[in-house]
Chain A
Amino acid sequence: MILTGPEIKRQVDSGRICISPFNIDQLSPNSYDFRLSETIAWYVDDILDCRQYNKTITSTIPEEGMVLRPDRIYLGSTAERMGSEHYVPIIRARSSIARLGLFIHVTADLIDIGSINHWTLQMHAVQPTRIYPGMLIGQVTFWCTKGEIVLYRGKYRNSVGPMGSLIHLDAERESNAALA
């Protein structure tokens, strides 16, 4: 079951959902629109590797905007701190953004329950697209769960800005397990 907009507001008021800052004008019938923060990152190398640390460059999106290239993955961040220990969040682009051909996640819409922070957005533009800091870029929905809840304690907790992939830690864990 998905929470309606008024129910999201009620859960924010009672502290069971975190959306901070919360602006009632960004509430939709069954989701909440979030903003893009001013910080953006991308990878230094052209060829990425799932077993290596992939170094990122961090920059600030200027007021006059920044054009995203189609051949590059960009990491943005939500301006809001969001999450819940009671409901599962799912993020997606607003339809206004999708109509521009801009993906804001790359098949990773599901947020772990208990992951309460500024979520990293995985931005991919189909055509060159100019984006602006603070723009309303995506929406979050909240879903009821079935079963005992164990909260997220993973490697991306407490992230504030756009955070690059930490997938190289998988390879380290796997090789440690093989040595053990």
Chain B
Amino acid sequence: MILTGTEIAANVAAGRICIDPFDPHMTNPNSHNYRLGPVLRTMERTEVLDSVQAPEFEDVLIPPDGIVLRPNLVYLGTTLERIGSEWYVPSLIGRSSVGRLGLYLQISADLGQLGAEHHWTLELAAVQPIRVYAGMTIGQVSFWEPIGEKVRYCGYYGTRSDPAPWSPEAVIGWNRPNHGQLSSVERQESQ
């Protein structure tokens, strides 16, 4: 079940959902809007991105008169707000006002994990050149009630509140939280 805006606000008040800062005017009928943080990270100096190589990146502070995003590049940004919940599963997408301008806020990865509470990394991609501004209301997050025992996310990206590029270790799967546990089981078996 998806939480209504009223229910999101009630859970923020009860401490079961973190949206910080929380502005009640940004609540929608079944989601809550978030704003764009001030820093964008680009990998435009690298011609071909390599999933198992750490990227060379450049940080840009969005000036007061905005910055024009160019098509055919991925820009990593963050939510201005800290967002997360141990109780409800977040799904982070754009707003229709922004989608109508052809700006993607994530690249087929809208699903958050239970327990990850941080400034979320946004994957911005523009169909046409578009000027964006720091602090603008750019997307929305919805919250979903899960079924089953809850386990907290302990993965790498949940600790990052900057526009975090991919981690080669995470791509390969070396830093999965259960990898250490699995290898200790394997060690015991081999002894």
Chain A residues near B (Cβ < 8 Å): 1, 43, 46-51, 54, 71-73, 75, 88, 105-110, 112-115, 120, 122, 124, 143-152, 154, 156, 163-167, 170
Contacts and interface: CB of A to CB of B under 8 A. Distances in A.
Interface in B44-80: 66, 68, 71
22 contacts: A49-B66, A50-B66, A51-B66, A54-B101, A71-B71, A73-B100, A75-B100, A106-B103, A107-B139, A108-B98, A114-B29, A120-B96, A122-B99, A124-B127, A145-B2, A145-B3, A146-B7, A147-B4, A147-B5, A150-B4, A151-B29, A167-B97
Contact of A147 (B3, B98, B129): B3
Contact of A110 (B1, B3, B93, B137): B93
Nearest to A87: B2
Given A107-B139, A108-B95, A150-B6, 18 more contacts: A1-B1, A51-B131, A73-B128, A106-B100, A108-B99, A112-B31, A113-B4, A113-B29, A122-B102, A145-B1, A145-B4, A146-B1, A146-B4, A150-B5, A152-B29, A164-B100, A165-B97, A167-B101
A108 B71 CA distance: 19
A8 B71 CA distance: 39
A50 B4 contact: no
B10 interface: yes
Question: Interface centre among B66, B91, B104, by most A CB within 10 Å?
Answer: B104
A146 B93 contact: no
B105 interface: yes
B120 to A, nearest CB: 13
Contacts of A47: 68, 128-131
Interface of B: 1-8, 10, 28-31, 66, 68, 71, 91, 93-106, 110, 127-133, 136-137, 139-140, 142, 145
B130 A48 contact: yes
Contact of B101 (A48, A71, A150, A151): A48
B136 A50 contact: yes
B132 to A, nearest CB: 5
Contacts of B140: 110
A148 B2 CA distance: 12
Given A49-B130, A107-B105, A112-B28, A146 B2 contact: yes
B102 A73 contact: yes
B101 A88 contact: no
Contacts of A49: 66, 130-131
A110 B131 CA distance: 24
Nearest to B122: A107
Contact of B29 (A54, A71, A149): A149
A71 B98 CA distance: 16
Contacts of B130: 47-50
Nearest to A151: B29
A144 B6 CA distance: 15
A47 B4 CA distance: 35
Contacts of B142: 110
Contacts of B100: 73, 75, 106, 108, 120, 122, 163-165, 167
